[in-house]
Structure 1
Amino acid sequence: MSSLASTKTAIVIRHLDFEDLGTLAPLLKARGYDVRYVEATLDQLRDLDPAAADLMVVLGGPIGAFDEAIYPFIGDELTLIQDRLACQRPLLGICLGAQLIARALGAQVVGMGMKEIGFAPLTLTPEGQESPLAALGAVPVLHWHGDRFDIPAAATRLAGTDICAHQAFSVGRHVLALQCHLEADPEQIERWLVGHACELAQAGIDLGRLRTEAKALQFDLPRAAGAALSAWLEGVETTPAQGGS
């Protein structure tokens, strides 16, 4: 399928270079989005117009959503997300991004006391089975976190796992928050293994197992994740914009 003319914009808040859009990047390009990365650690988040972009994506990172005393930019990031939510414009949060959305909506984010790192399928709620996440089927997705969010009062829980019951939630059609990494490209797993080497060693994670699982999923996972995220984008692109141009 040929790419559509680029008429839409996507702002992507990134915390680590290798935790990027992954397999979501070509999907957005094919759907006609001009993508601009904003580096949360370097750029002035307070200067961004929260309503300007057609889509905002907040990616993951190895810090806590409640760590603004240590990493002050998180305060500006929370404000940006709160303002985006107030505009009711499309917002996708992944891992840390989802935790920040939960905080912005008044929910708690807390440590689990353990790590959930590896590939495993989601268990969808009845609402999740009616959501874009149904396109995942039983395909395992990448989990990589030690914190979890509560489900905000205004949100609908969509999925969980045995280790973490809160894996995804939505608010209307315009907000999707994912604790798991649907965007992660299994063929790029080595970047994650090197970038998070200390965390993996401390958690006693078997790198060989992660490599084997990633290789087995190098075709099925991008295909399933692409279908799920495409279905979500279809919904937000056909919903009239609120609170912004």
Structure 2
Amino acid sequence: MRKTALALRHVHFEDLGSFGDALSAWGYEIRYSDVGEEPFCQGDPCASDLLIVLGGPVGVYEDAYPFLDTEWKFIRTRLEAGLPTLGICLGAQLIASALGERVYSTGLKEIGFSPLTVTEEGHESPLVHFDGVQVLHWHGDTYTLPIGAQNLASTSVVEQQAFSIGPNVLGIQFHPEVETDGRFERWLIGHSAELAGCGIDTEGLRTDARMHGQRLKMAAHMMLQDWLTGIELQQ
């Protein structure tokens, strides 16, 4: 019987990216639950073997988006059951919030490719594959580290870039899943207003995506495989 993976998606272009093909190859049947399409976050949060909470251009604290409360409760139930859960960017922030931590604006935008520094704890985790790798950052918020969590990575701009709680919960602030081929253009279009507001050169992002994309994808797949192996060993 194939394992199941549920992905909570907030905008269509921020999907599972390169993780999608990898998960399918490793025996996972993938289903998306999309904001604005019923049913979003309905049913049993514990029904899937794996939950992946994807990114999006909103803040956990923004009351203007009622779906966040529904999603928060869905994730919290999952975490209370101790089941495998992966959060990326907004997803990591939602996990931290569901665990009672504060998510807040850093006062700046960390957007673009830059190297990641893996912490001492991170070197003993699947995040070791990202040490020194240029990864894609695209966020303006951060979080306080959940109780019992280990901070696995940082940058010179934002200290909290990834955390884990035991083998089953992993939050990643940056975007390991991003596809840096022609599909990266969807990100540039989808975030065009934000990029313009920050004065960020889109051609520079395209160039960096071409330059660093393959190494990022390799590191991302090794990280994901190591994490999934650790989950399976615990079951």
How does the TM-score come out when normalised to structure 2? 0.97
Separation in 1 of the partners of 2:207 and 2:39? 40
Distance 1:139 1:163 in 2: 16
Cα deviations by residue, 1:157-207 (Å, 9 ceiling, x for unpaired): 111101100000001000000000010111122110000000000011111
Structure 1 residue 43 displacement after superposition: 2.7
- Cα contact 1:40–1:77 (8 A) shared by 2: no
Secondary structure of the residue aligned to 2:234 is: coil
Spell out structure 1 runs of 4+ moving beyond 4 A: none
**1:132 matches 2:100:** no
Residue in 1 aligned with 2:110?
Answer: 116
Give the CA deviation at 1:109: 0.5
Q: In 2, distance between residues paired with 1:40 and 1:154?
A: 30
Contact 1:136 1:227 in 2 (8 A): no
What CA distance in whole angstroms lies between the structure 2 residues aligned with 1:233 and 1:183? Answer: 15
Q: Residue 101 of structure 1 aligns to a residue in which SS?
A: helix
Partner of 1:201: 196
CA distance in 2, matches of 1:154, 1:49: 26
Structure 2: gaps (5+ residues): none
2:6 paired with 1:17: no
Number of the residue aligned with 2:143: 149
Partner of 1:243: none
Gaps of 5+ in 1: 1-5, 241-245
Name the residue aligned to 2:60: 65
Aligned twin of 1:3: none
Q: Does 1:213 align with 2:208?
A: yes
Among 17, 37, 40, the alignment partner of 1:42 is: 37
Q: 2:159 aligns with which of 165, 170, 186?
A: 165
The answer to whether the Cα contact below 8 Å between 2:118 and 2:131 also exists between their aligned partners in 1 is no
TM-score by length of 1: 0.93
- The yes-or-no answer on 1:231 pairing with 2:208 is no
* Residue 150 of structure 1: how far off its partner (Å): 1.1
Q: Once the two structures are superposed, what CA deviation does each residue of 1:16-55 show, in whole Å capped at 9, x if it has no partner?
A: 0000000000110011000000002323345221111000
Whichever residue aligns with residue 93 of structure 2, its letter is Q
The total of aligned residue pairs comes to: 234
1:229, CA displacement in angstroms? Answer: 1.1
RMSD between aligned residues:
1.1
| One-letter identity of the residue aligned with 2:153 | A
Aligned partner letter, 1:238 = L
Q: Which residue in the other structure is 2:173 paired with? A: 179
